[in-house]
Amino acid sequence: MSDSGNKKRRVGIMGGTFDPIHIGHLILAECAYEQFQLETVQFMPSGNPPHKTDREGGATDEERLEMVSLAIRDNPHFSLDAEEMRRNGFSYTSDTLVALRKSHPDTDYYFIIGADSLLSFESWREPEVISRNCVLLAAARDQISVSAMEEKMTELRRRYGAEIHLLRTPNIDISSTNLRCWRQEGRSLRYYVPDAVLSYMKQKGVYQDRIL
């Protein structure tokens, strides 16, 4: 999708439920910023993702938003885009990207995903539309091998003409699901989430006394 000799803005998108945001998300975004010379990375908490309608015991939209905001506030090249959350109903990445490209034709978008999202990419809504409207950056996760990722990337390039690159990151073996469970069990999340996020969780009782 990027045209040659382009002077377009290079903007990363870190989409997710962020329930809660954790160091995995933050490290991915920072690596993408650094390795792909991005101007900024926009964190985009999803409204009501079709595959996560059962997040019982999860944080409210407002809490997820606030946790993202607290987590990124010290990083000048990170920002928060709450557009998907404001929209009613399900939010689809393809719709979001089409809308973004329409309102910002001067910008190339780099959509950052983990290996689990890469492997399930074809089950996303309109993968061909997503592929046309962003560059995909895929990072290691869940000990998924680089060769399995490369194989999938080759397939997506062939099938959808996707521009897709490997993001070099360590395997960061944590998920929001783990963190929600640990918090329920009273285990410490220190160092897994920024201190400000942890303080907020404690203050609001996020994930405590909620059925998981």
Q: Pick from 11, 38, 59, 139: which binds ligand ATP (CB under 6 A)?
A: 139
Q: What is the CA radius of gyration of the chain?
A: 17
d(CA 58, CA 55): 5
Q: Pick from 11, 13, 17, 78: which binds ligand ATP (CB under 6 A)?
A: 17
Q: Is 24 in the site for ligand ATP (CB under 6 A)?
A: yes
Q: Pick from 12, 19, 94, 108: which binds ligand ATP (CB under 6 A)?
A: 19
Q: Is 141 in the site for ligand ATP (CB under 6 A)?
A: yes
C-alpha to C-alpha distances, 180 to 57, 79, 174, 202, nearest whole angstrom: 9, 24, 11, 13
d(CA 96, CA 119): 21
The number of residues that bind ligand ATP (CB under 6 A) is: 18
Residue 90, number of CB atoms within 10 A of its CB: 15
Stretch binding ligand ATP (CB under 6 A), from 15-23, 67-75, 127-135, 155-163: 15-23
Residue number with CB closer to ligand ATP (18 or 33): 18
Burial class (CB in 10 A: 0-12, 13-18, 19+), 3: exposed
Q: Is 116 in the site for ligand ATP (CB under 6 A)?
A: yes
Q: Pick from 13, 18, 81, 121: which binds ligand ATP (CB under 6 A)?
A: 18
Per-residue interface string for the shown chain with ligand ATP, residues 172-201, x marking contact by CB under 6 A: x-xxxx------------------------
Residue 23, number of CB atoms within 10 A of its CB: 15
Residue number with CB closer to ligand ATP (8 or 166): 166
3-state class (DSSP) for residue 46: coil
Q: Name the nearest CA neighbour of 169 among 194, 152, 144, 187.
A: 144
Report in angstroms how near the CB of residue 17 gets to ligand ATP at its nearest. Answer: 4
Q: Is 62 in the site for ligand ATP (CB under 6 A)?
A: no
Stretch binding ligand ATP (CB under 6 A), from 12-20, 88-96, 98-106, 148-156: 12-20
d(CA 123, CA 174): 23
d(CA 65, CA 71): 10
Residues that bind ligand ATP (CB under 6 A): 16-19, 24-25, 28, 113-114, 116-117, 139, 141, 172, 174-177
